[in-house]
Amino acid sequence: MSDTPVKQQGTAAFYGQAVASFAVAMAATSVGIFRLDADAWVRAFLAIAVLYLVTSAFTLAKVIRDRQEAGQIVSRVDQARLEKLLAEYDPFEKP
């Protein structure tokens, strides 16, 4: 009767690929900014902008994950209440 959702968890390979991809992207961006033919203040501004973008992306990902997990918890509590009511209900019981 009850469909207990299986917790989805990424594999170690997926985690490693995500970390490696992030490292390569940050390294490439850093080298690109460092080798840019511009004044130091322009490169510094671009570096700060990239760092701000990265921290904002991490924060956004965390907020989305937290909202999704909160929704799953509420859904599971509601499902448990419904199952309890259905288990206690006897249509043949006289009032």
Task: Find how far residue 54's CA is from the centre of its chain.
Answer: 14
pTM for this predicted structure: 0.60
Summarize pLDDT for 32-67 with one digit per residue, the tens: 999 999 999 999 999 999 999 999 999 999 999 888
Please give the helix or strand (H or E) that residue 94 lies within, else none.
none
pLDDT at position 5 is 56
d(CA 46, CA 18): 24
Give the helix ranges, DSSP H, for the chain. Answer: 12-34, 40-88
How many Cβ atoms sit within 10 Å of the Cβ of residue 54? Answer: 14
pLDDT at position 57 is 94
